[in-house]
Amino acid sequence: MFFVTWQDQRGGLADIYAARVGQEGNVLDPAGIPISTLPDHQLEPAASYDGENFLVSWGDLASSDLFGARVDGDGIVLDAAGIPISSAAGEQAAPDIAFDGENYLVVWEDTRGGQSDIYGARVSREGTVLDPDGFLISMSGAPAAAAPAAAD
């Protein structure tokens, strides 16, 4: 099965939706699965799979923080209120996710230091953020480091 996430403005503001796609290309959730429909915009989703559940992460425009939610193989959102992955000062945005067989690694752009750097945090299969303050991966040394990508 494949899993697709996107920003969707069907309600006027950008929300996060997903759909499962079968091996034959059949869309299992044609209306989409609402992952986050909080007030204001939720942006730039990313997802990864641990063999049982998906973890979706996104940036929230209102708080400038990074959130996540697990979704099971049946398309049920396990963390309806969202998991706060990073609520550091500044803005956290543009996440990407990988899974190493034990934990997820969420990486993102982070402006807590006054410029855009790359930070990361590990998230367990159970949805526990193992690095609540995140950890610095790359300091840009310039006005901006952008668009991190992670791979398993």
SS3 breakdown of the chain: % helix, strand, coil, rounded to 5? 0, 50, 50
**Where are the domains positioned within the chain?**
2-138
Both tokens of residue 46?
Answer: 């990313």
How confident is the prediction along the chain (152 residues), in pLDDT tens digits per residue?
999 999 999 989 999 999 999 999 999 999 999 999 988 899 999 999 999 999 999 999 999 999 999 999 999 999 999 999 999 999 999 999 999 999 999 999 999 988 899 999 999 999 999 999 999 999 876 667 788 999 98
pLDDT of residue 147: 85
CB 75 within 8 A of CB 33: yes
- The answer to whether the predicted template modeling score (pTM) of the entire model surpasses 0.85 is yes
First and final CA of the chain: distance in angstroms?
17
Per CATH, the number for 2-138 is 2.115.10.20
